[in-house]
């Protein structure tokens, strides 16, 4: 089927009390794995690429891969720019055909974050493309983004941000971090509900790789409508490839170890789809 609209996806999740899984794809095999898992679970799904991924290959190439998979899929598939770090990159993703973009101005002062986000919203609105913003810092390191501190989202600022930017969804800071957790984080889950009561737009949780199932489920119960997974997919893919090559050192065909990586990512995505509660929601 054609690419799906992420606004419709997330508003359906908001109304239905579940979250849509959003999964970062680094290559064709990971994109295949994500769509295969979504089909098996009968779930809507969002594939994402980050700025460093789009330096590895341009947005049009990733769009072509995911568009080909979406056309053959029987479930809604969307393609999202994750952590867009500039107006220019958002424009590139928009021109390539991405179905939604994120502009991450969370490291900027509030007024500058609002101004940058508002400009991206204006650009994308002419094409009917929704925009995700971020308010409150998600700590850790992912892609080009590195933050040593976690900043919690202020509900008052979140309400102002929604009104002044016109964003379609908002990533909030509640104690998660990008990358691998050395120890399980303690999240301010109650803050999600406080923000949800002040905003109309769907809320997004970043830094979910490695979180316990019960924590993710509670975040969804409190109002999270989209959950991002990246690091744990990279780890699953890499570990499967390493294992295959260690056990079969004579392999020279990338398709063989690529298949092992794809299978590992598919199982991980399938598990997280069920945790988010979006299985059977396609």
**Residue 184: Cβ within 10 Å count:** 10
**From CA 189, how far away is CA 98, in angstroms rounded?**
31
Nearest to 173 by CA among 211, 213, 215, 224: 224
List 5, 58, 82, 154, catalytic entry: 82
Q: Which residue has the tokens 């064709």?
A: 28
- In the annotated binding site for Zn(2+), the residues are 83, 104, 134, 178, 206
Which of 141, 134, 129, 125 is closest to 107 using CA atoms? 134
Rounded to whole angstroms, how far apart are CA atoms 141 and 157? Answer: 24
- Bind-site residues: 83, 104, 134, 178-179, 206-209, 228-231
**What whole-number distance in Å separates Cα of residue 260 and Cα of residue 241?**
6
- 250 belongs to the catalytic site: no
* 197 DSSP assignment: H
The residues facing 22 across adjacent strands are 46, 228
Active site residues: 82
């Amino acid at each position: 089927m054609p690419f799906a609209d992420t606004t419709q996806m997330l508003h359906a999740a908001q109304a239905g009390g579940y979250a849509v899984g959003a999964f970062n794809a680094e290559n064709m095999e990971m994109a295949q794995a994500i769509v295969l898992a979504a089909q098996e679970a009968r779930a809507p799904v969002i594939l994402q690429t980050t700025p460093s991924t789009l330096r590895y290959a341009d947005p049009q190439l990733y769009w072509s891969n995911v568009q080909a998979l979406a056309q053959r899929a029987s479930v809604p598939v969307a393609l999202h720019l994750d952590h867009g770090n500039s107006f220019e990159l958002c424009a590139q993703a928009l021109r390539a055909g991405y179905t939604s973009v994120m502009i991450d101005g969370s490291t900027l002062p509030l007024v500058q974050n609002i101004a940058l986000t508002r400009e991206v919203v204006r650009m994308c609105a002419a094409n009917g493309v929704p925009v995700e913003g971020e308010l409150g810092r998600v700590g850790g390191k992912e892609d080009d983004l590195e933050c040593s501190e976690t900043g919690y989202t202020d509900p008052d600022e979140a309400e102002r941000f929604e009104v002044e930017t016109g964003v379609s969804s908002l990533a909030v800071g509640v104690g998660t971090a990008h990358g691998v957790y050395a120890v399980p984080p303690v999240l301010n889950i109650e803050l999600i509900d406080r923000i949800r009561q002040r905003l109309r737009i769907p809320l997004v949780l970043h830094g979910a790789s490695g979180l316990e199932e019960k924590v993710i489920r509670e975040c969804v119960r409190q109002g999270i409508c989209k959950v991002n997974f990246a690091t744990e997919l990279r780890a699953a893919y890499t570990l499967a490839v390493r294992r295959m090559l260690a056990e079969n050192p004579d392999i020279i065909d990338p398709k063989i170890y690529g298949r092992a990586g794809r299978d590992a990512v598919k199982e991980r995505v399938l598990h997280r789809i069920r945790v988010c509660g979006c299985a059977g929601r396609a």
